[in-house]
Chain A
């Protein structure tokens, strides 16, 4: 167990250290610029986004006692997409205090829909399944409005929107990372403080309540903090698929289900997983860059199927 943990952490560190040097060869005169102004900030962004998304996935899976629960379950992704679409149609080039409108709108959309679900979670007699249903309902509503917005968009806007929904790590400077970092930090640190309560959740909500957990408070805090982190990530990068689903499952299979290991390790593994995917995205198609969302799906899906198949055999 301890050895596995050490090996896993070592692999993660190695990936992060090597990743910035992976990619098309850098011309000598532009080397410093490419490395320090493009690749390092991209890697940092991937670290922040990957870690946050994975932790939120792990927390939601614990909270809903459902291995398929993800931020999209409670409508976060659909809300972000709606926000981004509206911004694209209104004119994506506008920016407010250096923050692109599309980012701000996606953030607001993601947070708005998730907070609606969190408000429902505050109810006294609400069961976890009700929340999943509420999330699906809000997702469908947001999706329907999005379709309406798309209908009024021209083809250039549609292309931008489609690109956005693929999930990508943008060429950002350090400034955007500095903007995202506090959001992600609040979300990650806040969620990690809930570890102990989520441990008690394993034997059922009512049982947890009888053992002293304030179930409603934990539920709202988890959903709210999770939504905040995911909204931040989605705002800058679009919906990067599968990370939040796959990484907790990998950690669970390798290191066990104990929440004290699962949650913090999801942050670390998720961070390096997205860095790895980003590096792969740079080299997989020579001459152009694949959106990282495609790579996460392509890498993650077979991995997940393998892990499930190995367990059941």
Chain B
């Protein structure tokens, strides 16, 4: 069964202002789509629309051709899983319980859920955290556990909403390495970020061309490109209102932003 997420012509208005205007994208298993743009460009609105948490005022969001709003939450959870910016638990439940809760969509015994949760924790090398209260973990550990929850949900498409926003550089690297693993294991990834360079941690040499980059600016699609496109720097610069240049560091392409005033 192929699981194709298609956003076509999505428009969201808040009063007079358009938060999202005529945005289209598609994600299939094995795809990596990065949505980049400055804060306030509509990235999070796009994610909420794609998840079916918010209904677009115009346009459609479909999974396998079925309208995402017409699916029951359980059916939808079988296709789409979501990794928020940070785990916000209201109570000190253990990491294991948090991951086991992500198995809600399966009608199975609690024991079975816990077994699957342990497997998922092992896949992100976090077995040691299983019995620790999630509120006592560091930000990086929490996101690691959240990735385990994402895996435990066993959805073919994962939607990541600036998942490394609150992490330090080492934790960012670690998290995106996990994202890269998920991608290579065949999942479709839709990743929202304002920092394009974190994606470098998710890829291996040669896979740059397979990462699609969608620039979002003021609610509209500003450009569609690939990570290895020669003019990606210029596109990014325009979206972020800076000059951006791609440079090679240890065989990885990263982008450096510079102020507009001082030209070369």
Chain A residues with CB under 8 Å of chain B are: 65, 196-197, 199-200, 202-204, 206-215, 257-258, 260
Q: Which residues of A contact B259 (CB under 8 A)?
A: none
Q: Which residues of B contact A206 (CB under 8 A)?
A: 53
Q: A204-B84, A211-B101, A212-B78 are known; give 14 further A-B pairs, CB within 8 A.
A: A65-B90, A199-B93, A202-B93, A203-B88, A203-B98, A206-B53, A210-B73, A210-B76, A212-B74, A212-B76, A213-B73, A213-B104, A214-B72, A257-B93
B99 CB to closest chain A CB (Å) equals: 11
Q: Which residues of A contact B90 (CB under 8 A)?
A: 65, 202-204
Does B104 contact A210, Cβ atoms closer than 8 Å?
no
Q: Give CA–CA (A199, B87) in the complex, Å.
A: 14
25 contacts between A and B (CB under 8 A): A65-B90, A197-B104, A202-B89, A202-B90, A202-B101, A203-B87, A203-B88, A203-B89, A203-B98, A204-B88, A206-B53, A207-B88, A208-B104, A210-B76, A210-B81, A210-B82, A211-B77, A211-B81, A212-B73, A212-B76, A212-B77, A212-B104, A213-B104, A215-B73, A257-B91
Closest-by-CB residue of A relative to B105 is A212
Q: Which residues of B contact A207 (CB under 8 A)?
A: 82, 84, 88
In the A-B complex, the 4 residue pairs with the smallest Cβ-Cβ separation, listed nearest first, are A212-B77, A212-B105, A65-B90, A210-B82
Q: Which residues of A contact B98 (CB under 8 A)?
A: 202-203
Q: How many A-B residue pairs have CB under 8 A?
A: 68
Contact of A199 among B53, B78, B97, B105 (CB under 8 A): B97
Does A214 contact B89, Cβ atoms closer than 8 Å?
no
Does A209 contact B104, Cβ atoms closer than 8 Å?
no
A193 CB to closest chain B CB (Å) equals: 13
| B80 close to A (CB within 8 Å) | yes
Among B107-142, those with CB < 8 Å from A are: 110
Q: Which residues of A contact B81 (CB under 8 A)?
A: 210-211
Does A214 contact B91, Cβ atoms closer than 8 Å?
no
Closest-by-CB residue of A relative to B90 is A65
Does B102 contact A211, Cβ atoms closer than 8 Å?
yes
Does A200 contact B104, Cβ atoms closer than 8 Å?
yes
Q: Which residues of B contact A211 (CB under 8 A)?
A: 77, 81, 101-102, 104-105, 153
Q: Give CA–CA (A260, B51) in the complex, Å.
A: 28
Q: Give CA–CA (A200, B76) in the complex, Å.
A: 16
Q: Which residues of B contact A65 (CB under 8 A)?
A: 90
Q: Give CA–CA (A258, B91) in the complex, Å.
A: 9
| B40 close to A (CB within 8 Å) | no
A108 CB to closest chain B CB (Å) equals: 34
Does A200 contact B101, Cβ atoms closer than 8 Å?
yes
Q: Which residues of A contact B78 (CB under 8 A)?
A: 212
Q: Which residues of B contact A208 (CB under 8 A)?
A: 104
Which of A199, A202, A257: most chain B Cβ within 10 A?
A202
Q: Which residues of A contact B209 (CB under 8 A)?
A: none
Which of A208, A210, A258: most chain B Cβ within 10 A?
A210
B153 CB to closest chain A CB (Å) equals: 6
| B186 close to A (CB within 8 Å) | no
| B230 close to A (CB within 8 Å) | no
Q: Give CA–CA (A42, B201) in the complex, Å.
A: 67
Q: Give CA–CA (A207, B153) in the complex, Å.
A: 12
Does A196 contact B104, Cβ atoms closer than 8 Å?
yes
Q: Give CA–CA (A196, B73) in the complex, Å.
A: 15
| B92 close to A (CB within 8 Å) | yes
Q: Which residues of A contact B92 (CB under 8 A)?
A: 257
Does A203 contact B101, Cβ atoms closer than 8 Å?
yes
Q: Give CA–CA (A206, B49) in the complex, Å.
A: 12
Q: Give CA–CA (A202, B97) in the complex, Å.
A: 10
Q: Give CA–CA (A199, B80) in the complex, Å.
A: 20
Does B101 contact A260, Cβ atoms closer than 8 Å?
no
Q: Which residues of A contact B73 (CB under 8 A)?
A: 209-210, 212-215
B176 CB to closest chain A CB (Å) equals: 21
Closest-by-CB residue of B relative to A214 is B73
Among B14-55, those with CB < 8 Å from A are: 51, 53
B63 CB to closest chain A CB (Å) equals: 13
Q: Which residues of A contact B74 (CB under 8 A)?
A: 212, 214
Q: Give CA–CA (A192, B246) in the complex, Å.
A: 57
Does B91 contact A202, Cβ atoms closer than 8 Å?
yes
Q: Which residues of A contact B91 (CB under 8 A)?
A: 202, 257
Closest-by-CB residue of A relative to B51 is A210
Q: Give CA–CA (A208, B73) in the complex, Å.
A: 9
A42 CB to closest chain B CB (Å) equals: 35
